[in-house]
């Protein structure tokens, strides 16, 4: 349920209502806005009806949240959530470019790529230390060693970092060394992992599963937020369809849909979404045009010799021209 307070309702009114909700065994959420205060109540709605909050003098309206997801729903919280990775805001009018190699391969490689990302105005650095590869014979990542490299390079370049956490046992280490968690497509419905990262305060980029609906993605985000971590950034990275011309089908319909139904920021991964480096720039422009709050892009100092996803990684000069060419699109979308 959402309870919208009247203009001029004060903190004492809000506290009283929050107290009543809690006394019925429901979870109250206090969300003071610039103009109005919204109070959420999570739990059995039939219990709440007994309180007849609609009769409270400070209450304007009591509405049911009809969507299966509640905390991430725009019905509950109408204002765009801004999530910060390090000091980089994502959402609410800020457009962010997160870029870097698919995998951390060495300190030298990571530093070279980070310098490219930084030189051309990238906002944050990506790089996987734990890699979920389709084949067990492919490079699996440097593990903890990779996290330490990422952390060192972050300190040198002053770029915040994003890296995938594959398993519950690695959450602590990733939390220690990176600025944000990435939950990969293959783990989007690993509910135990979602709950554990939900107990952290670090931001989380939650990627859409290969065969997940947008509703599945929003419910996965609900798992994280309901554990107490509101810092979730959703990521459209393409889904499996009958189309095989490209690696995945980048579902840009998801962006305006998510914007309409959720207050969480949403970014696009045109690298995994297409699997073709030449399509990364056009799909980045499309992502900006349809309302995305950022992109996460693979770029490598030497894509031909990359240990993972080299074929879809941008050459440094491609990244440079992408960063220049997207500027008018960001401006046209009224973003910074």
| Binding site partner of 237, from Mn ion, ligand PEP, none, Cβ cut-off 5-8 A by kind | ligand PEP
CA distance 270 to 323: 14
Q: Tell me the three state secondary structure of residue 239.
A: strand
The gap between the terminal CA atoms of the chain, to the nearest Å, is 34
Task: Name which position in 128, 160, 265, 316 contacts ligand PEP (CB under 6 A).
Answer: 128
Choose one: 140-148, 165-173, 184-192, 212-220; the region binding ligand PEP (CB under 6 A).
184-192
CA distance 128 to 147: 8
| Angle, CA 140 vertex, CA 271 and CA 240 arms, to 5° | 40
Q: What are phi and psi of 202, to 5 degrees?
A: -70, 145
CA distance 18 to 324: 49
Nearer to ligand PEP (CB atom), residue 75 or residue 293: 293
Q: Within positions 89 to 118, which residues make up the interface with ligand PEP, using CB under 6 A?
A: 102
Please name the helix (run of DSSP H) or strand (run of DSSP E) that holds residue 84, with its range, or none: strand 83-85
| Binding site partner of 184, from ligand PEP, Mn ion, none, Cβ cut-off 5-8 A by kind | ligand PEP
| Binding site partner of 207, from ligand PEP, Mn ion, none, Cβ cut-off 5-8 A by kind | ligand PEP
Nearer to ligand PEP (CB atom), residue 80 or residue 216: 216
Task: Name which position in 93, 132, 282, 328 contacts ligand PEP (CB under 6 A).
Answer: 132
- Find, among 257, 266, 181, 189, the residue nearest to 223 by Cα: 189
Nearer to Mn ion (CB atom), residue 14 or residue 307: 307
CA distance 127 to 252: 24
For 328, residues 6+ apart whose C-beta sits below 8 A from its C-beta are none
Nearer to Mn ion (CB atom), residue 134 or residue 244: 134
Q: How far is the CB of 246 from Mn ion (least distance, A)?
A: 15
Task: Name which position in 74, 120, 207, 277 contacts ligand PEP (CB under 6 A).
Answer: 207
Mark 113-127 as b/e (b = at least 16 C-beta within 10 Å): bbbbbbebebbbbbb
Q: What are phi and psi of 42, to 5 degrees?
A: -105, 130
Nearer to ligand PEP (CB atom), residue 94 or residue 207: 207
Q: Which residues bind Mn ion (CB under 5 A)?
A: 102, 309
- Find, among 132, 140, 197, 117, the residue nearest to 166 by Cα: 132
- Which residue's C-beta sits nearest to ligand PEP? 184
| Cα atoms in the Cβ-side hemisphere of radius 13 Å centred on 88 | 24
| Cα atoms in the Cβ-side hemisphere of radius 13 Å centred on 24 | 21
237 binds ligand PEP (CB under 6 A): yes
266-305 footprint of ligand PEP as x/- string (CB under 6 A) = ---x--x---------------------------------
- Find, among 233, 264, 237, the residue nearest to 248 by Cα: 237
Q: How far is the CB of 187 from ligand PEP (least distance, A)?
A: 8
Q: How far is the CB of 217 from ligand PEP (least distance, A)?
A: 12
Choose one: 16-24, 182-190, 252-260, 277-285; the region binding ligand PEP (CB under 6 A).
182-190
Task: Name which position in 184, 198, 275, 294 contacts ligand PEP (CB under 6 A).
Answer: 184
Choose one: 90-98, 170-178, 181-189, 257-265; the region binding ligand PEP (CB under 6 A).
181-189
Nearer to Mn ion (CB atom), residue 75 or residue 309: 309
Task: Specify whether the CB–CB gap between 272 and 308 falls below 8 A.
Answer: no
Q: Which spans of this chain sit near ligand PEP (rule: CB under 6 A)?
A: 102, 128, 132, 184-186, 207, 237, 269, 272
């Amino acid at each position: 349920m959402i309870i919208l307070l009247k203009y001029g309702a004060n903190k004492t009114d809000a506290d009283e209502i929050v107290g009543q909700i809690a006394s019925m065994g429901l979870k109250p959420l206090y969300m003071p806005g610039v103009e109005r205060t919204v109070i959420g109540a999570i739990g059995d709605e039939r219990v709440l009806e007994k309180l007849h909050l609609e009769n409270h003098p400070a209450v304007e309206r009591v509405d049911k949240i009809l969507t299966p997801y509640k905390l991430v729903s725009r019905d509950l919280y109408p204002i765009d959530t801004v999530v910060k990775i390090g000091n980089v805001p994502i959402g609410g009018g800020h457009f962010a470019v997160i870029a870097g190699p698919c995998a951390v391969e060495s300190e030298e490689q990571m530093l070279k790529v980070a310098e490219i990302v930084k030189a051309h105005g990238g906002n944050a650095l990506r790089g996987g230390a734990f890699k979920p590869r389709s084949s067990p014979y492919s490079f699996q990542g440097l593990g903890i060693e990779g996290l330490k490299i990422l952390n060192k390079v972050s300190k040198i370049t002053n770029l915040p970092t994003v890296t995938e956490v594959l398993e519950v046992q690695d959450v602590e280490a990733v939390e220690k060394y990176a600025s944000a968690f990435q939950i990969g497509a293959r783990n989007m419905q690993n509910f135990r992992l979602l709950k554990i990262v939900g107990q952290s305060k670090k931001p989380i980029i939650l990627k859409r599963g290969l065969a997940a609906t947008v509703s599945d993605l929003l419910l996965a985000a609900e798992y994280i937020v309901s554990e107490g971590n509101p810092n979730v950034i959703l990521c459209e990275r393409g889904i499996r369809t009958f189309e095989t011309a490209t690696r995945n089908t980048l579902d840009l319909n998801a962006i305006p849909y998510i914007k309409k139904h959720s207050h969480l920021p949403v970014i696009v991964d045109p690298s995994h979404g297409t699997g073709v480096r030449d399509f990364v720039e056009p799909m980045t422009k499309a992502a900006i045009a349809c309302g995305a709050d950022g992109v996460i892009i693979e770029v490598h100092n030497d894509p031909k010799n990359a240990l993972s996803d080299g074929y879809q990684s941008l050459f440094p000069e491609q990244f440079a021209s992408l960063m220049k060419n997207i500027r008018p699109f960001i401006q046209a979308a009224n973003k910074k």
